[in-house]
Amino acid sequence: MRNIFPRWSNTVPLKLIVGLGMVGSVLVAGITYYATPKYTRVGYQPTQPVSYNHEFHAGELGIDCRYCHTGVDKSSHANIPGANVCMSCHQNVKSDSALLEPVRDSYYGEDANKDGKLSEGEDLNGDGILNAGPAIPWVRIHKAPDYVYFNHAIHVNRGISCVECHGRVDQMVEVHHDKHLSMAFCLDCHRNPEKALRPLDEVTNLSWEADLSDHSDPLIAQVHAGLELKENWGVNPPLSCTGCHR
């Protein structure tokens, strides 16, 4: 009888093992990078119906976040401002800019002559009310899954800044998803809140940094400041399911 397999076949097994090992590790690496929120969410930047410029308003003009996002310190939702908020300035500023057309539509609605009063032929659907116009369909960027109950009020009021989850919005012309906001992300902060805690006045100051006077490393400075606040305020973020899942 003769050999069935050629001589070179003897080296195949070894090559196979090495090959599979490499493929496997690439696969794992690929999944951990592409199939996790780090990749799937971060950078999501839809085009909005109105090209609102956060960098300009929040950055240059320095309008406080809470001026528009009124719910953020009272409610679980931060709340997208109604057209009336925009118009409180833009009635005077750039009042006829074409970019603001949707805003004006939404604000005035049936009020054709924009006098705020119900006058002849304005009440189109005849309900005796001066209805507002179509809402501006802002595209949602940050969304926790339905079974996660994130509450803005408690974070903002206990010294967690917007920047922790939303990044430097004051440097974004158009807002994008900056942090991956996975459960691991939440847990990380809930385990060591001192990395994020800051004085209440600085919560909406996205560029704030802990006092560097007696520490060279900003991180160490932050942790020191944070630990003090954590102790004083009795901060004890929940680590168990009930904190976020109900």
Partner 1 sequence: MIMQNNQPELPSGKDYWKSLDSLADTDGFKEWVSREFPEGASMLDGVQRRSFVKLMAASFGLAGLGMTGCRRPEQVILPYGKSPEELIPGVPAYYATSQPTSRGFQPLIVESHQGRPTKVEGNPSYLPNGGSTDVYSQASVLDLYDPDRAQGSFARETLKNGVNRWKKVSTDSVLDILDDEVSEGKVAVLVNRSHSLVRQSLQKKIASSGIQWFEHDAIDYTSAENKLGKALGLKKGLRAVPNLSTAKRVLSLDCDFLGNRESNELSNTRAFMSGRKVLNSADARKMNRLYIAESDLSRTGGVADHRLRVESSQMIGFASLVASELLSKIGHSDQSLKKHLKNLSSSTNSQKEWASEAVADLLSNPKKSVVLAGSHLPAEVQLLAYEMNRLLGSIGSTINYIEVGASADSILSLASKINNGSIERLFILGGNPVYQTKGFINWEDLSKKLKFAVRLGGSIDESSQIANYHLGQSHYLESWDLGTTWDQSFFVPVQPLIAPLFDTVSEASFLSHLVGEKNDDHGLVKNIHSEYSNGGDFEDFLRLGVLATKPVSFNSLDATKALLSIKPVEIKSSKLTEDNLEVVIIPDFHAHDGQYANNGWMQECPDPISKLTWDNALLISPVLANILESKHPGLGLLPKPTMLNKNGQIAPDAAQFDGGKQKAPIVTVNVGGKSITAPLYVQPGLADFSIIATIGYGRSHVGRVGRGTGYDVTPLLSGESLVLTGASLQPTGDFKILANVQEHWSMEGRAIVREANAEEYISDPGFASHMGAESHSPPMWGKDQNKSLQEKATTTPRGNSAYEHPDHTYEKSDVFGIHQWGMTIDLNQCTGCSACVVACQSENNIPVVGKDQVLRGREMHWIRLDRYFSSTARDGAEIPSDVQVSFQGVACMHCETAPCESVCPVNATVHDEEGLNAMAYNRCVGTRYCANNCPYKVRRFNFFDWNKRKTDELYQGPLGDKNDSSVDMGKNPDVTVRMRGVMEKCTYCVQRIQESKIRTKVNAQQKAKFESGKDGSGIQLSTQDLKVPDGTIKTACQQVCPSDAIVFGDISDPRSEVSKLKNNPRDYSVLGYLNTRPRTTFLAKVRNPNPKMPDFASSPHSAREYHDKAHPSHHGDEHGAH
Partner 2 sequence: MSEVNQAEQHDILKKVDPAPWKDVPLVLNNRSYKWVTDKICGIVESKTPTWWWWCFITALCIASFTGMGLVYLVSTGVGVWGNNNPVNWGWAIVNFVFWIGIGHAGTLISAVLCLLKQKWRTSINRASEAMTVFAVLCAGIFPLFHVGRVWFAWWLFPLPNANAIWPQFRSPLEWDVFAVSTYATVSILFWYMGMIPDMAVLRDRATQTWRKYFYGFFAMGWRNANNHWRNFEMAYLLLAGLSTPLVLSVHTIVSFDFAVANLPGWHTTIFPPYFVAGAIFSGFGMVLTLLLPVRAAFGLRDLITQKHIDNMCMITLATGSLVGYAYAMEFFIAWYGANSYEGFAFINRAFGNYWWSYWIMISCNVICPQLFWFKKIRENTPLVWIISIFVNVGMWFERFVIANTTLSRDFLPSSWGYYSPTVVDIFTFFGTFGFFSVLFLLFLRFLPLMPMCEVKSVMPQANPHADH
Partner 3 sequence: MSEVMDIKYAAAATFDSAKDLYDAAGKVREKGYKNWECFSPIPVHGLDAQMGYPRSKVPRFTLAGGFTGFFTGMLIVWFMNEFDYPLIVGGKPYFSPIYPFPVFYELTILFAAFGTLFGMFFLNRLPQHNHPVFEHPDFGRTGDDQYMIVIEVEDPLFDDEETLSFLESVGGESVQIIREPID
Chain residues that interact with partner 1, rule: CB under 8 A: 46, 70-71, 73-77, 79-85, 106-107, 109, 125, 127, 129, 131-140, 143, 145-149, 151, 153-154, 157-159, 199-202, 225, 228-229, 232-234, 236, 238-243, 245-246
Per-residue x/- marks for partner 3, 185-204, CB under 8 A? --x-----------------
Is 204 within 8 Å of 78 (Cβ atoms)?
no
Judged by phi (left if over 0) then psi (alpha if -120 to 50, else beta), residue 65 lies in alpha
Distance CA 212, CA 154 (A): 27
How far from each other are the two terminal CA atoms of the chain, in whole angstroms?
Answer: 73
85 binds, among partner 2, partner 3, partner 1, none (CB under 5 to 8 A by kind): partner 1
- Segment interacting with partner 3, rule: CB under 8 A, options 9-17, 53-61, 148-156, 201-209: 9-17
Q: For residues 11 and 240, which CB has a smaller minimum distance to partner 1 in the complex?
A: 240
- Residue 1 makes contact with partner 2 by CB under 8 A: yes
Which option in partner 3, partner 2, partner 1, none does residue 184 bind, with CB closer than 5 to 8 A by kind?
partner 2
CA atoms lying within 13 Å on the CB side of residue 21? 6
- In angstroms, rounded to a whole number, what is the distance separating the alpha carbons of residues 6 and 49? 68
Q: Is the dihedral of CA 162, 168, 169, 170 positive or negative?
A: positive
Quick one: 60 or 115, whose CB is closer to partner 1?
115
Measured from the CB atom, the residue of 38 and 74 that comes closer to partner 2 is 38
Question: Cβ closer to partner 1: 26 or 112?
Answer: 112
- Cα separation, 108 vs 114, in Å, equals 6
The window from 14-22, 169-177, 183-191, 195-203 that contacts partner 2 (CB under 8 A) reads 183-191
Among 22, 26, 124, 184, binds partner 2 (CB under 8 A): 184
Question: Which residues, numbered 110-169, are part of the site for partner 2 (CB under 8 A)?
Answer: none
List, in order, residues 6 or more apart from 200 with CB less than 8 Å away: 157, 159
Q: How far is CA 36 from the centre of its chain?
A: 17
Residue corresponding to tokens 């802002």: 138
Q: Which residue is associated with the tokens 């919560």?
A: 203
14 binds partner 2 (CB under 8 A): no
Return residues touching partner 3 (CB under 8 A): 1-10, 13, 187, 239-240
